[in-house]
Amino acid sequence: MQRRDFIKGVGVGSLALGAAGAASMAHAKAEYDWKMVTTWPKNFPGLGTGANNLAALIEQMSGGRIKVHVYGAGELVPAFEVFDAVSRGTAQMGHGSAYYWKGKSEAAQFFSTVPFGLTAQEMNAWIYHGGGLELWSELYGQFGLIPAPAGNSGVQMGGWFNKEIKSVEDLKGLKMRIPGLGGEVLARAGGTPVNLPGGELFTALQNGTIDATEWVGPYNDLAFGLYKAAKYYYYPGWHEPGTIMEAMVNKQAFEALPADLQAIVLNACKVVNQDMLAEYTARNPTALRTLVDKHGVELRRFPDDVIRKLRGLSEEVIAEIAERDPFAAKVHAAYRKFLAQAREWTGIAELSYLNARDLV
């Protein structure tokens, strides 16, 4: 009787293990159809194509087990509703930049770019190895989201202007499309920041709704034809020294994936993050020469006194955000600590090397 009970028990156990194994295999072989909404115009060079590349890479790496359908700004949801759409599950993924969501949390802006802050290389170091991603995940987790870097523009240009900027006085009354912390700094300098999606910039600049606009850099600005609407092209991009393009994933959708597909999604983001920065670094020089040599764009550097004023105002704006938002204060402290370390090393390494390379 004991032997019969043992054999019966083994049989029941085997059936249970078999059922569990079959369920696990079925889960592993399941296919997922995801939507990705973006803040960028459909197929726009660099930004829109970066989202496309991410979707294609996830499908390829997963052997087709995840198919991601990309929707440009306005196709499924407006550009500035991407965060909410992914948070509530209308789409499983989004692609944009965190400074667009400062209305949700002012701390979000630190995970996009900070005026006079970390460069792209330094930003990646902070996010991946300096505790930045943990803070970012803590913030977005409150909205049911998982964030990941999925692109970087590098140092951007200062923007397009219909008049020369010779002093700080020229910023007063200026209506300029400039998002995030940079927009708050402009307001402190007496200007009027306007937040518009990329697809509306050319028309707004051409018809005088705005007096100036920043977008990204020569590669993207040439594609938008901004040189047809403004004469002066300023640098450096003090407001965006290394802007992260983010992927955000609906947490519930992510947790429904088996572990291997979760790893594929996150690592695909890392690949696209690296590739986009490389593309901008390769494309911007050629595009800049086209703007200057073919289209007669007048390249200008912001005067030193303007840069100094903007830097001082930037420090004020950031400090005030930290004072009024407890989580922003936590992120700001971590960011400042890493920036101090990075500044010292970058000065010894990259900056010294670049000065040596250009020494005549």
Residue with tokens 């930045």: 132
Q: Which of 283, 316, 274 is nearest to 127 (CA)?
A: 274
Distances (CA, A) of 153 to 50, 95, 190, 275, 288: 11, 14, 27, 10, 15
Was domain 9-153+242-281 assigned CATH 3.40.190.170? yes
Locate 232 and state its tokens: 């002066």
Q: Peptide bond preceding 285: is omega within 30 degrees of 0, i.e. cis?
A: no
Q: What is the pTM of this model?
A: 0.89
The identity of residue 105, as a single letter, is S
pLDDT of residue 23: 45
pLDDT of residue 217: 97
**How many helices (H) and strands (E) are present in the chain, helices listed first?**
13, 11
Question: What is the distance, to the nearest Å, from the Cα of residue 62 to the centroid of all Cα atoms in its chain?
Answer: 24
Tens digit of pLDDT at every position of the chain (360 positions): 565 555 555 555 555 555 545 445 555 578 999 999 999 999 999 999 999 999 999 999 999 999 999 999 999 999 999 999 999 999 999 999 999 999 999 999 999 999 999 999 999 999 999 999 999 999 999 999 999 999 999 999 999 999 999 999 999 999 999 999 999 999 999 999 998 988 899 999 999 999 999 999 999 999 999 999 999 999 999 999 999 999 999 999 999 999 999 999 999 999 999 999 999 999 999 999 999 999 999 999 999 999 999 999 999 999 999 999 999 999 999 999 999 999 999 999 999 999 999 998
Q: Is 284 helix (H, G, I), strand (E, B) or coil?
A: helix
Q: Which of 235, 251, 238, 341 is nearest to 297 (CA)?
A: 235
**Dihedral sign from CA coordinates of 182, 183, 187, 191:** positive
Residues 6 or more apart whose Cβ sits within 8 Å of residue 212: 159, 160, 161, 162, 174, 175, 176, 177, 205, 230
The identity of residue 343, as a single letter, is R
Query: What are the b/e assignments for 115-147, b being 16+ CB within 10 Å?
Result: bbbbbbebbbbbbeebebbebbeebbeebbbbb
**Cα–Cα distance for residue pair 92/132, rounded to 1 Å:** 23
Q: Which of 138, 159, 151 is nearest to 112 (CA)?
A: 151
